Amino acid sequence: MEVIERVDTIRERMQTLRCSGKRIGFVPTMGALHEGHLQLLRASVQENDITVCSIFVNPTQFNNPDDYKLYPRTIEQDTELLKTVGCDILFAPKAEDVYIQQSLLQFSFGPLEAVMEGEHRPGHFNGVATVVSKLFHYVQPHRAYFGQKDLQQVAIVKQLVTGLSFDVEVVRYPIVREEDGLAMSSRNKRLDAKQRQAAPSLYGALQLAKQQLGNKPVYSIKAAVEAYLSSMDEVQLEYFEITDPDTLRPLTEVQPGQEVALCIAAFVGPVRLIDNMLVNLNEV
């Protein structure tokens, strides 16, 4: 596996690969790799000639300085894991090289960023859109793989790709979970034993909501989720929404046959976690 740190080096390398007709798959990450990341990478390795993984803890998408400072960084272990899945190129740039000057660009995604992660993490999606645009320019991928775990991020990236005519196919990959249902996340590494035990309750809340969909009104499902999580020590619910899976607009009522996305964010101890579930109301 090649390891490239410099922006001008990756640009040149990718230019050469593209001109020689290689299909490029790209998996952008912030490192501290887990099985969720590895499954995205395996999909890319299978579906493309060359797979590039980026590891970059992007400062501009963190609205909380502690979250940025404490974000797990395990580059040596990550490098070894990437070799095991057949990744061809690891791109691990330095922040100074990506942001040679402070970016003053402002993206606007309309209603999509006014809810959930957009509402609760001001500036987050601006940072995501900035870094994804930069990474797409450096890596010039044919396909880029994103996890459904960050459902709103996928919607933002799709809007970015359409809005700015990036010639990239965005692939959404399903959520990979631990055996107890907890969605895998680099931030899980920060949970202590008690918090780790409480963390699957986010998934529990989504399952509870799924069971009640179609039988109970939305406000009552939301109240049941709030009640369930308020009984958990260590868990502080930030939001739970039943949304349209494409626009992520929160719904106040649902219709038979409709597809919805159940979305949740909560603090478990000091660690903020998110999760979601796509549900077809015909199947509940």
Residues carrying an active site annotation = 37
Min separation Cβ 219 and ligand AMP, Å: 30
Contact 116, 262 (CB under 8 A): no
For ligand AMP, the closer of residues 149 and 272 by Cβ is 149
Min separation Cβ 31 and ligand AMP, Å: 6
Q: 223: helix, coil or strand?
A: helix
Min separation Cβ 154 and ligand AMP, Å: 7
Q: What share of the chain is helix, strand, coil (3-state, %, to 5)?
A: 45, 20, 35
Q: What is the DSSP string of 95-151?
A: HHHH-SS--------GGGGSSTHHHHSTTHHHHHHHHHHHHHHHH--SEEEEEGGGH
Instruction: Please enumerate in sequence order all residues whose Cβ is within 8 A of that of 109, keeping only pairs 6 or more positions apart, or say none.
Output: 118, 125, 129, 156, 159
Give buried/exposed letters for 107-124 (b at 16+ CB in 10 A, else e).
Answer: bebeebbebbbbeebeeb
Min separation Cβ 20 and ligand AMP, Å: 27
For ligand AMP, the closer of residues 117 and 150 by Cβ is 150
Binding site for ligand AMP (CB under 6 A): 29-30, 36-37, 40, 146-147, 149-150, 173, 175-176, 183-186
For ligand AMP, the closer of residues 128 and 279 by Cβ is 128
Residue nearest to ligand AMP (CB): 147
For ligand AMP, the closer of residues 59 and 214 by Cβ is 59
Min separation Cβ 46 and ligand AMP, Å: 16
The type of residue at 93 is P
For ligand AMP, the closer of residues 183 and 221 by Cβ is 183
Contact 132, 89 (CB under 8 A): no
